[in-house]
Structure 1
Amino acid sequence: MGQRPEYGSRVSVASLNTRGTPLLGSRLAERYRAIGEYFEAGDVDVVSFQEVLTYWHLRQLTAGLPSFRYAGYRPSALGPAGGLVTMSRRRLVGTVYQRFPRLPGRSAAALPRRSRLTAPWKGSLMVRLAEPSLRVINTHLLANFDADWTEQSRYYEVHRHQLAALTSIVESIDGPLVVTGDFNISRDSSLFAEFVEKSRLADAFEDCPPTFHPEYLGPGQRAHCIDFLLFSRNSLRAEKAHLIFTDKVPMKNGAGFASDHLGLTATVGTRES
């Protein structure tokens, strides 16, 4: 097990969408065990997880993370609301979940049935650390199955709607803030550029490489940077940003990817530290 970090003004934050595809036969228990072993051996303080869909998923995840004593999520009938869970080695003193507002009728009607069914369950989870004073937002936007982020895309207005709601949350926060998660929008899109400008957030990665394993993409598709680790640029700075789970990990029945997504991690600290 890795050496525990000394608590101070710097915080190491990570983000990972945990589902893996296909949904059936994805070796979820093995993958969650590998994910736990990775974080237990490292020095990350806070991890934002997406697609922890049921309480069974949650039990599998927390069992492998004994040093992450604090779990932030909002209970719902089947599991954590929005599939969002934030695990922390540092004490959490507040947890708030906000579902994205209902989609405008015309925007929703343009979506495929699968997207219309999942859109109402998307949202953002915010936790607050006791020390240092830092809020971490964990979010998951609707998946874009067309991989088209132009203004002509049938997902464009939906994503603008969800990003506007996320921007409102960011603007309501007074103090240091980190925003992480699976945005399902390309870093090269106007959607991302508009969001970081309005939210006044900075990207921990100067050049974000693809965050989705190409092995899980369909024919002719290419991977994009769709997962982000952002921070309030006026009060924080970021260092040591890098991707995690880039390669296959050892598992009982043979090596495999921990998820269809790659993870991200960075250390953030106040500008005075």
Structure 2
Amino acid sequence: MQARVLTFNTLFRGEARARAGVLAETIERSDYDVVCLQEVISWRVLGLLRRVATSYPHVAYTPMFPLVRGGLVTLSRHPVTRRHFRAYVPARPARPEWLLSKGALFTRIRLPGGHLTVVNTHLSANLDMDWSPSNVYAQVEKAELHRLAAAVNQIPKAEPLVAMGDFNVPRDSPYLAEFVSSTGLRDVFGGDTEPTFRPEYAEIGAIDQLLVRPGIEAKTRLVFKEKVRLPGGRSAVLSDHYGIEADLTAGGAGEA
């Protein structure tokens, strides 16, 4: 089984539709098999993505009027055989992102060489940017990682699986290490803390992750670092995050 994948937080604020149009054109020209997007909150943005990126006929998301649930959208050039959304339990302190009903979107995709389960997620933000054990937002994220681990562990171990998205937890966090240990997943970056959030916005670090099950090899790189030209001629970055792309290769598991 081989697959080329991308995960990218699209940033819902500020010219979101203009940037989404450029993104859609970019992935339409790409050779990605699967694209996991976060912060696709607006139905208008989702509609734009679907109209422009027509080579991705299989689109997984969860309706939740008036928003796209969790802001999570998974685009695939290959048939989707199963999908479900696992919500995180809202935990105090109260904050606007509760309206999104954040969680994880599980999608099973039938690739030419076998099936792959793709987990697209966006954890709660740490508004203090403080991941010490006593921080209330860190405790929220830790609980969400526990819930995500339980959901991942329900997928048969023989099934090739990749979990990716905006975890909002630094790659060197003990919470992420605990998640990796409890699921048996592997960080394809090997702990490298090169930032995935643009340093000019905030010094947060490597908060976007791509994790795979044993038996999957991955070659990765950060993308969308450069500015793009928006309609009207203005140049801008695609998001406050970089994207992560990966070439995945696995053995014969997951072909049932």
Q: Could you tell me which of 1, 10, 13 is aligned with 2:2? A: 10
Equivalences for 1:90-239 in 2 at 5 Å? 90-103=78-91, 108=92, 111=93, 113-114=94-95, 118=98, 121-131=101-111, 132-174=114-156, 175-206=159-190, 207-217=192-202, 222-233=203-214, 235-239=215-219
TM-score by length of 1: 0.85
1:250 and 2:229 are equivalent in the alignment: yes
Percentage of pairs with the same residue: 34
Gaps of 5+ in 2: none
Distance change >3 Å, CA 68–CA 120, structure 1 → 2? closer
Task: Write the letter of the residue equivalent to 2:238.
Answer: A
Task: Write the letter of the residue equivalent to 1:223.
Answer: I
Equivalences for 1:45-84 in 2 at 5 Å? 45-84=33-72
Where 1:192 maps in the other structure, the secondary structure is helix
Gaps of 5+ in 1: 1-8
Task: Write the letter of the residue equivalent to 2:241.
Answer: H
Where 1:216 maps in the other structure, the secondary structure is coil
Between the two proteins, the alignment pairs up a number of residues equal to 247
* RMSD of Structure 2 on Structure 1 (CA): 1.7
Task: Write the letter of the residue equivalent to 1:13.
Answer: V
1:30, 1:45 → 2: CA distance? 23
1:226-250: CA deviations, max 9, x gaps? 00111112x31212x0011111112
1:265, 1:199 → 2: CA distance? 22
Q: Could you tell me which of 86, 103, 115 is aligned with 2:74? A: 86
Greater share of strand residues, 1 or 2? Answer: 2
Corresponding residue for residue 3 of structure 1: none
TM-score by length of 2: 0.91
2:230, 2:180 → 1: CA distance? 38
